[in-house]
Amino acid sequence: MAELVSAYQKYLKTNKGAATPVRSVIDPRALDDAGSIAAAMIKAQRTGEVKADLRPVIDHYLNYIMTKEFRLKDGTLARNRPQPNTLWLDDLYMSLPAIAQMGVLTGDTKYFDEAEKQYRLFAKRMFNPEKGLYMHGWVQDMDPHPQFHWARANGWALMTKIELLDALPVNHPGRPYILQMLKAHVKGLAALQDGTGFWHQLLDRNDSYSETSATAIYSYCIARAVNKGWLDAKAYGPMVLLAWNAVSTKINANGQVEGTCVGTGMGFDPAFYYYRPVNVFAAHSYGPVLLAGAETYRLLQKHPFVINDSSVQMYK
């Protein structure tokens, strides 16, 4: 991608306004364009295995996130769709991991501080402490405000906390708060896991369909938190194995992942979420399934299970 960007930047000098396959890299216009790929590029650059210099693209992405993305008056990263002054839970994952990784890459604490600040701004509006769940979207001045606890968006929020805990220095003052919120969120999710191992498309509505991408994300995140010592293996290890076994039933003979909700905007009525299609070409499950499989493998190495009266137990 970095090589393509360089080539098309030269091309655009003599072909101004031409369409290119890297428009979202050269000219990001949303956090969807920038955050997740920026975090991945930073991680790739840090391995030392990538020959291309990714830093110009990384800096360009971070400049967009930090200085150009629309914000509310208090600085919260926001969008003006589908309503003015709207927060998307998805945007936690589309921004904060990149910001935190930039802190790791540069050693500049302003990035860690900004990531923690943004998380707090989102959480105070969108986390329901009674349910231990997040609402999918928040619109300024909507009153009363409907809450729909869409499964995959809760996955993005959960994965964001894992990414932050992976990146923040051990002595950063924001770590205890992020860890506290991780525990509260996982407690809320644990109460809603179906007996099949899946979570539902709308988490607290068990007549909505079982959804694979969210189940895979939760499996990965909770396994990683257990492996890192952030969550108790005895309490949550069996839940991970149940989730992973559920996910594994959705990988078909062609290696495709079934039961994944397609890309989804936000809605304010339940039918919008109930009737979103599923499709094997919805890419949102493929990365999480690989992550979940790898982290569950590590979980079983660190915390082998035993069967007691047909129940799964972890003693380590």
Complete DSSP assignment for 202-236: BTT-TTSPEEHHHHHHHHHHHHHHHHTTSS-HHHH
Residues in CB range of 26: below 8 A, 6 or more apart: 5, 8, 9, 12, 20, 60
Instruction: Return the pLDDT at 52.
Output: 87
Residue 215: burial class (beta carbons within 10 Å; 0-12, 13-18, 19+): buried
Instruction: Return the pLDDT at 2.
Output: 86
Mark the ranges of the chain whose per-residue pLDDT is less than 50: none
Measured CA to CA, the distance from residue 257 to residue 285 in angstroms comes to: 7
Instruction: Return the pLDDT at 316.
Output: 87
Q: Note the Cα 37 to chain centre separation in Å.
A: 12
> If you search the block for the tokens 């955050």, which residue do you land on?
35
Is residue 197 a contact partner of residue 245, using CB atoms and an 8 Å limit? yes
Q: Note the Cα 44 to chain centre separation in Å.
A: 18
